[in-house]
A = this chain, B = another copy of it.
């Protein structure tokens, strides 16, 4: 363990866990075997960090001395200046997960295994990030949103509150795949549901309460409350207020 670690009470380190200088660990925290908590990390009270995790992984810029993303205007809105990693109170980070520096996470995040959260990501309270889901940097997510297993969320994406993104969805950020072109990730408004294996094209805005069907390719904006699906996704119907309420109510108890 490093020398300048602010350590709470009742912290349990399993075999091979280590904690660098310049970190802060709250009360009632468990750090799994072969897990590293690197400088600049703060793990708040009542967290469980699983095996083989890395908290406070160096950013691309720190490792490679370059990060082209930052030349993109839209990306700059997401920057977290301090090289910190904050894991909020009561979070559970499951094994093989990697969380970068410049990441601020609210209370009670639950992750699956092998999740990746890269630099300049802000997550609200009570979120879920599923197994092998990737938040590839420069992303904002609200409260009570769920990004399920094997999703790929690209840079410059904004996700609201109470959003459900089912397994295997992919967000795109570069319309013509010209390297160095400005990135333009999609925006997902509050209480949207996106079913599994859907692709969301760059710049698309999915309106509040919308529901996107499985395996869709969303190429244009989707209005609020719409039900859209297909390749390309078309608006097929609109949800009643009652339907919308069912979903919103179903996540109220979620904590």
Cβ–Cβ contact B195 & A177, under 8 A: yes
Cβ–Cβ contact A177 & B172, under 8 A: no
**Residue A110, interface by CB 8 Å:** yes
Indicate with 1 or 0, residue by residue over A170-199, a CB within 8 angstroms of chain B CB atoms: 101000111111000000000001011101
Cβ–Cβ contact A15 & B15, under 8 A: no
Copies of this chain assembled into the complex: 3
Indicate with 1 or 0, residue by residue over A111-141, a CB within 8 angstroms of chain B CB atoms: 0111010000000000000011010100000
A interface SS class: loop
**Residue A36, interface by CB 8 Å:** yes
Q: A134-B149, A231-B231 are in contact. Are A168 and B168 (CB under 8 A)?
A: yes
**Residue A247, interface by CB 8 Å:** yes
Closest to A219 in B: B214
Distance in Å: Cβ of A7 to nearest Cβ of chain B: 19
Cβ–Cβ contact A179 & B254, under 8 A: yes
In the bound complex, how far is the Cα of B32 from the Cα of A180, in angstroms?
31
Distance in Å: Cβ of A130 to nearest Cβ of chain B: 9
